[in-house]
Structure 1
Amino acid sequence: MKYKQLGKSDLRVSQVSFGCMSLGDDPRDNAALLHQALDQGVNFFDTADLYQKGENEATVGRAFRGLRDQVIIATKVGNQWRPDGSGWDWNPRKEYILKAVEHSLQRLQTDYIDLYQLHGGTLEDPIDETIEAFELLVQQGKIRYYGISSIRPNVIREYVQRSQIASVMMQYSLLDRRPEETILALLQEHQIGVLARGSFAQGLLVKKPATAYLGYAQEEVAQAASAVRAVADPARTAAEVVIQFALAQPAITSAVVGIRTEMQLLDALQAAAGQSLNAEELQGLRQAAKPKVYDQHR
């Protein structure tokens, strides 16, 4: 497994990391899967207080009890469950973040969170107040670093200018190259790490039948998937191709892969150990799906 430094932090994270949102409901199966990933070199595990109403954090906490110094744990905040459980509301206020972190720490069975991320964000948020909450938590030692999980260029630019974020988690794949327009270069310039999610484009690039996706027609999606298969060969899987496509971007630190089964984990591990795509392969893939641009949140 290869590792890269996340932005200007001292966190060295595996280039393929474990997206815990996809974990199932069986704590034993989850723990076995998480331990297997750790044993194979994956050290970065991403969850959120939103997932399974906090139970996702709890299963991660149980799995890594006694192994805390071996893992880098990231979680997220900002989506507040309603008391009746009917849904959640967006809440980036300082008061809420300072309360929510205590619940996350308890569920994760830890004294600190390595990376605490705002789970979204808009320009209408009290951004300075949100940043103040994160900075206070750093001072208190409850979190080591903070970042945001957002695809909105206008929000990302505000945090780049106004905060000390270590990272941005965003969607990036052959079928979602919108970050290439301005954001990847901006984050690289400011030494802010990028955690790429959605590299499989909901499975459309690796196994699912083609359908319209993010402004691409069904035929265009099929063309992109065909290009992936053309680069793959008997010694290389489609999963390896799409993950290596994401990792070819110098701004991207790690591909966060949602993992639910042992087979998915093995695919991710094989992809992490795979060869980088060469210039000809990258060019062929990029020609197969012309990049879109953000038509809002600019």
Structure 2
Amino acid sequence: MQKNILKSGIEISEVGLGCMSLGTDSNHAETIIDEAIQQGITYFDTADLYDFGENEKIVGKILKKYQDQNGIVIGSKVGNHFNKETKEHFWDPSKEHIMNSIKASLQRLNIEQLDLYMLHGGTIEDNKDESIEAFERLKEEGLIKAYGISSIRPNVIDYYLENSNIETIMMQFSLLDNRPEDLLEKIDQHDVKILARGPVSKGLLTGKSTEILNKKFKDGFLEYNYNDLSDTISQLNKEYDNLSAVTFNYLKSFNALGSIITGASSPDQLKDSIQNYNQSLTEKEIKHARAIVKNLEYTNHLS
């Protein structure tokens, strides 16, 4: 599988496993992670908030047997104070919280150094310099190799691009949700890589697109009302026999792409995703598919 290189030299597989959907059954999760390794996936994405710490524990336990031989890269996220018992959480991007949280994440993951640590959200009102200082300190102390942010707020993204050494930005990005396109040139100029989550738009860009549309999207999707969305999906299905392959190829066409983050609830679902990733489309086919969908833009958090 294609590997993409971050500024720090970390190599991440162009498809990464989003571990949030693994669940809390460790044996079942192991079948999915084992399949991911077999398929050439080396980037595994988790967060301290997922299942209130349990996800990190499961991911760390399962990946332990692979870490010395397969170039495994683990990314986790921070920024939420949470209570495992009450399931309550609140936002806290403070230096103190970030510096303390890494210790708990390292313990749960059973590692001494985390490859990639990302701020799990963020607003323009945050004390962003304090957050940046925390991440820089963790790099200096050798507790993390690199850091990034998970955000779809252009003003937050701009600030971190200009004032920090982030290496990744995780954002919702697909053929249907093409809002990040307006930010790609600046992101690429800073040699930052995108971790694209939601590549199949909650199932709209899969073989079950019509079923998903009628079950979950009666109120539309982003700037699409139901009729717009129905017409768009129908046209895409008419001209392409594999919508997942189309959105994967669309994402692969951008230089700023680091990894497409795909979830999986079973090994077979993961196999299908990799097959879709490996199915090649021509540049002409990708451009035609892009012309079918709307041009979306971010409308909030611009300044």
TM class by smaller structure: over 0.9
Tell me the alpha carbon deviations over residues 180-199 of structure 1, each in whole angstroms, 9 at most, x when there is no partner: 12x11110111101111111
Residues in 1 aligned to 2:24 and 2:145: alpha-carbon distance in whole angstroms: 29
- The equivalent of 2:20 in structure 1 is 21
Residues in 2 aligned to 1:289 and 1:154: alpha-carbon distance in whole angstroms: 25
1:291 Cα offset (Å): 1.4
Residues in 1 aligned to 2:89 and 2:225: alpha-carbon distance in whole angstroms: 32
Query: What is the letter of the counterpart of residue 261 of structure 1?
Result: S
- The equivalent of 2:163 in structure 1 is 162
Give matches, 1:183-198, under 5 Å. Answer: 183-198=183-198
Query: What is the letter of the counterpart of residue 252 of structure 2?
Result: L
Match of 2:278 among 273, 276, 286: 273
- The equivalent of 2:230 in structure 1 is 222
Query: What is the letter of the counterpart of residue 16 of structure 1?
Result: V
- The equivalent of 1:62 in structure 2 is 61
Q: Indicate conservation of the 8 Å contact 1:16/1:254, yes or no.
A: yes
Residues in 2 aligned to 1:168 and 1:259: alpha-carbon distance in whole angstroms: 21
Q: TM-score, normalised by structure 1?
A: 0.94
Cα distance change on mapping 1:288 and 1:223 into 2, 3 Å: farther
Tell me the alpha carbon deviations over residues 139-174 of structure 1, each in whole angstroms, 9 at most, x when there is no partner: 111100000000110000000111000110111112
Residues in 2 aligned to 1:122 and 1:137: alpha-carbon distance in whole angstroms: 22
Tell me the alpha carbon deviations over residues 9-41 of structure 1, each in whole angstroms, 9 at most, x when there is no partner: 211111111000111221011112101211221
Q: Bigger shift: 213-222 or 86-95?
A: 213-222
Residues in 1 aligned to 2:84 and 2:268: alpha-carbon distance in whole angstroms: 37
Give matches, 1:64-103, under 5 Å. Answer: 64-69=63-68, 70=70, 71-82=72-83, 85-103=86-104
Q: TM-score, normalised by structure 2?
A: 0.92
1:68 partner SS:
coil
1:52 partner SS:
helix
1:202 Cα offset (Å): 0.7
Q: Indicate conservation of the 8 Å contact 2:39/2:271, yes or no.
A: no
Q: Which runs of 5+ in 1 are unaligned?
A: none
- The equivalent of 2:248 in structure 1 is 243
2:213 partner SS:
coil
Residues in 1 aligned to 2:159 and 2:151: alpha-carbon distance in whole angstroms: 12
Query: What is the letter of the counterpart of residue 285 of structure 1?
Result: A
Q: Indicate conservation of the 8 Å contact 2:13/2:43, yes or no.
A: yes
- The equivalent of 1:53 in structure 2 is 52
Residues in 2 aligned to 1:164 and 1:224: alpha-carbon distance in whole angstroms: 39
2:115 partner SS:
strand
Q: Bigger shift: 253-262 or 114-123?
A: 253-262
1:271 partner SS:
helix
1:271 Cα offset (Å): 2.1
1:254 partner SS:
strand
Query: What is the letter of the counterpart of residue 283 of structure 1?
Result: K
CA RMSD of aligned residues (A): 1.5
Q: Bigger shift: 22-31 or 136-145?
A: 22-31
Residues in 1 aligned to 2:77 and 2:263: alpha-carbon distance in whole angstroms: 15
- The equivalent of 1:145 in structure 2 is 146
1:223 Cα offset (Å): 3.1
1:108 Cα offset (Å): 0.4
Residues in 2 aligned to 1:224 and 1:14: alpha-carbon distance in whole angstroms: 31
Residues in 2 aligned to 1:232 and 1:288: alpha-carbon distance in whole angstroms: 11
Query: What is the letter of the counterpart of residue 258 of structure 2?
Result: T
1:129 Cα offset (Å): 0.6
Q: Indicate conservation of the 8 Å contact 1:46/1:75, yes or no.
A: yes
Tell me the alpha carbon deviations over residues 218-265 of structure 1, each in whole angstroms, 9 at most, x when there is no partner: 1222233234434534xxx33222212211122112110011211211
Q: Bigger shift: 122-131 or 259-268?
A: 259-268
Residues in 1 aligned to 2:285 and 2:86: alpha-carbon distance in whole angstroms: 47
1:33 partner SS:
helix
Query: What is the letter of the counterpart of residue 4 of structure 2?
Result: K
Cα distance change on mapping 1:99 and 1:193 into 2, 3 Å: same
Residues in 2 aligned to 1:57 and 1:279: alpha-carbon distance in whole angstroms: 39
2:250 partner SS:
helix
